[in-house]
Amino acid sequence: MGAINIATASTSQWLFPVSALHHTPSRMTSDIPLERELYDRSRGVEFLYRLGVSLGLPSSAMFTAATWFHRFYMRYSMEDYHRQDVAAACIFLATKTEECGRKLRDVAKVFCSKVSKKDLSQIPDDSKEVEECQTSILLTEEVLLEGLCFDFVVDNPHAELVDLYEAHPNNNPLIEQCAWSIANDSYRTPLCILYPPKVIAAACYVLAEHAIEGPRDSPLDARLASPAPSASLPTPPSHRAQPAGFSRHAVEFFGFNEMGLANVADALSILLEYYGAQDLQGSSEFLAGLASIPPPQSSSHRAKLYKPFAQVAAGTLHPVANNSTPEHAISQSGTPTQPGGSTPGKFASGGWKPVTEGAPEGQ
Kindly state whether residue 344 falls inside one of the protein's structural domains: no
Domain boundary among 103, 129, 154: 154
Task: Supply the range of the domain harboring residue 216.
Answer: 157-228+239-308
Same domain, 79 and 206: no
Which pLDDT does position 316 carry in this prediction? Answer: 57
Kindly state whether residue 126 falls inside one of the protein's structural domains: yes
Torsional class of 150: left (φ above 0), alpha (ψ -120 to 50), beta (otherwise) = left
Cα(first)–Cα(last) distance of the chain, in Å?
Answer: 25
Which pLDDT does position 349 carry in this prediction? Answer: 28
Same domain, 264 and 195: yes
Contact in structure between 97 and 58 (CB atoms under 8 Å): no
Q: Which of the residues in the chain have pLDDT under 70?
A: 1-11, 215-219, 226-247, 282-283, 298-299, 316-363
> Residue 120 maps to which CATH number?
1.10.472.10
Domain count within the chain: 2
Kindly state whether residue 362 falls inside one of the protein's structural domains: no
pTM of the predicted model as reported, rounded to 2 decimal places: 0.80
What are the CA-CA distances from residue 117 to residues 152, 337, 360 (Å)? 31, 10, 7
Same domain, 133 and 34: yes
Amino acid at 12: S
Kindly state whether residue 348 falls inside one of the protein's structural domains: no
Helices (H) and strands (E) in the chain, counts: 14, 0
Kindly state whether residue 323 falls inside one of the protein's structural domains: no
DSSP state of 267: H
- Maximum Cα–Cα distance across the chain: 75
Kindly state whether residue 3 falls inside one of the protein's structural domains: no
Same domain, 84 and 26: yes
Same domain, 206 and 108: no
Same domain, 249 and 113: no
> Residue 211 maps to which CATH number?
1.10.472
Which pLDDT does position 24 carry in this prediction? Answer: 94
Same domain, 284 and 166: yes
Q: Measured between alpha carbons, how far is 18 from 10 in angstroms, rounded to an integer?
A: 10
Residue of 260, 149, 251 whose CA lies nearest to 195: 260
Q: What is the DSSP string of 133-202?
A: HHHHHHHHHHHHHHHHTT------HHHHHHHHHHH-TTS-HHHHHHHHHHHHHHTTTGGGGTS-HHHHHH
Q: Measured between alpha carbons, how far is 245 from 247 in angstroms, rounded to an integer?
A: 7
Domain boundary among 308, 333, 358: 308
Per-residue pLDDT reduced to its tens digit, 194-218: 999 999 999 999 999 888 877 654 5
Same domain, 210 and 111: no
Domain boundary among 121, 154, 187: 154
Same domain, 161 and 150: no
Same domain, 166 and 304: yes
Residue of 258, 231, 247 whose CA lies nearest to 172: 247
Residue of 188, 194, 195, 196 whose CA lies nearest to 83: 188
Same domain, 110 and 183: no
Residue of 122, 216, 200 whose CA lies nearest to 155: 200
Kindly state whether residue 352 falls inside one of the protein's structural domains: no
Contact in structure between 92 and 48 (CB atoms under 8 Å): no
Q: Is 15 helix (H, G, I), strand (E, B) or coil?
A: strand
Kindly state whether residue 9 falls inside one of the protein's structural domains: no
Which pLDDT does position 340 carry in this prediction? Answer: 30
**∠ CA 158-160-166, rounded to 5°:** 105
Same domain, 163 and 303: yes
